[in-house]
A and B are shown apart, each in its own frame.
Chain A
Amino acid sequence: MTMETQKFGESGFAEKAKTSIAEREQSIAYLGVELPKGGGGEFCPKKENYKQYKNQKFYLQLQQKIATSWKMDEPMLIEGGTSIGKTTTVRKMCADLGYEVYYTNLNGATDVEDLMGRYVPNADRKNSNEPEYKWTDGPVTAGLRQAGEKIRVIILDEYNSANPNIIIRLHEVLDELEKNGEVVLAEDASERVKVNKTKTKIIALTNPPGKGYLDRQPLDPAQLRRWNYQKEATELSKDTFSGSVDMLFGLKPEIEEMPDEEFLFSNDAEIPIEELKEIPGMKELVEKYKEFHQASKELLKNRKIAQDQPQAFTYDDRMEPQRVLKFIQHFYRGDINVVWKKALRYFYVNKLENETDKQKLLEIIDAIEYVAPVESRRKGFEREIPQAISEPVEKREGLSGTLAEQIKNAKEILGEEFFIGPEDVEETFGFKLNFKDIPQIPFSVEEIELHQKRGDMLVLNLDKTPDGELLTIEMMSTKAINVLGGNIIERDAKGDPNKYLLYTNQFDENGKVKSSAWFSGEAEISKQTPKAGWQFVSPEILPPSISKDAISQIEVLMENAKSDFFSGKFPVEHAEAEKEFQSKKDEIRRLMSENKYVESSKLISELKISQLLSEPVQNAIFRYLVSYKKGKQLFVDGKYMRSMCGASSDGGLLLFGDADSSGALVNGDDPDSSYVSLGAVSSRF
Chain B
Amino acid sequence: MQKEIQEFLKMINGSTELCLMIAKDEQELLVVQQEVGNVGFQQSKNLREIFNGIKNGSKIYFTLGDTLGNNIYNVLAQYSTGQVTAHDGQSNLVANPDYAKGAVLILITKENLKKIEQGEKSLLNLVGLTWQK
Contacts and interface: CB of A to CB of B under 8 A. Distances in A.
A322 to B, nearest CB: 32
Nearest to B121: A107
Given A120-B90, A139-B87, A91 B82 contact: yes
A108 B73 contact: yes
Interface in A7-62: 42-43, 45-46, 49-50, 52
Contact of A45 (B70, B82, B89): B82
B121 A91 contact: no
A110 B70 CA distance: 9
B13 interface: no
B81 A91 contact: yes
Contacts of A404: none
A182 to B, nearest CB: 21
A142 interface: yes
B43 interface: no
> For the side of the interface on B, what is the size category?
20 to 34
Interface stretch (A97-105, A386-394, A634-642): A97-105
A43 B70 contact: no
Nearest to B120: A215
A161 B121 CA distance: 10
A120 B120 contact: no
Given A52-B16, A107-B73, A136-B90, A87 B120 contact: no
B91 A108 contact: no
11 contacts: A42-B94, A45-B96, A46-B82, A46-B83, A88-B81, A107-B77, A108-B121, A120-B90, A136-B91, A158-B77, A215-B120
Contacts of B82: 45-46, 49-50, 88, 91-92, 95
A43 B92 contact: yes
A43 B92 CA distance: 9
Nearest to A90: B81
Contact of A49 (B74, B83, B89): B83
A87 B81 contact: yes
B118 to A, nearest CB: 10
B121 A102 contact: no
A70 to B, nearest CB: 18
Among B70, B77, B81, the most chain A Cβ lie within 10 Å of the Cβ of B81
B70 A108 contact: yes
Given A49-B96, A123-B90, A103 B85 contact: yes
Interface of A: 42-43, 45-46, 49-50, 52, 82-83, 87-88, 91-92, 95, 101-105, 107-110, 114, 120, 123, 136-139, 142, 157-158, 161, 215
Contact of B83 (A45, A137, A142): A45
Contact of B89 (A102, A104, A120, A139): A120
B78 A139 contact: no
What 10 A-B pairs come out closest when comparing CB atoms? A49-B82, A45-B83, A108-B70, A215-B120, A87-B81, A46-B96, A88-B81, A105-B74, A103-B85, A91-B82
A88 B90 CA distance: 26
Interface string B89-114: 11110101101000000000000000
A101 B85 contact: yes
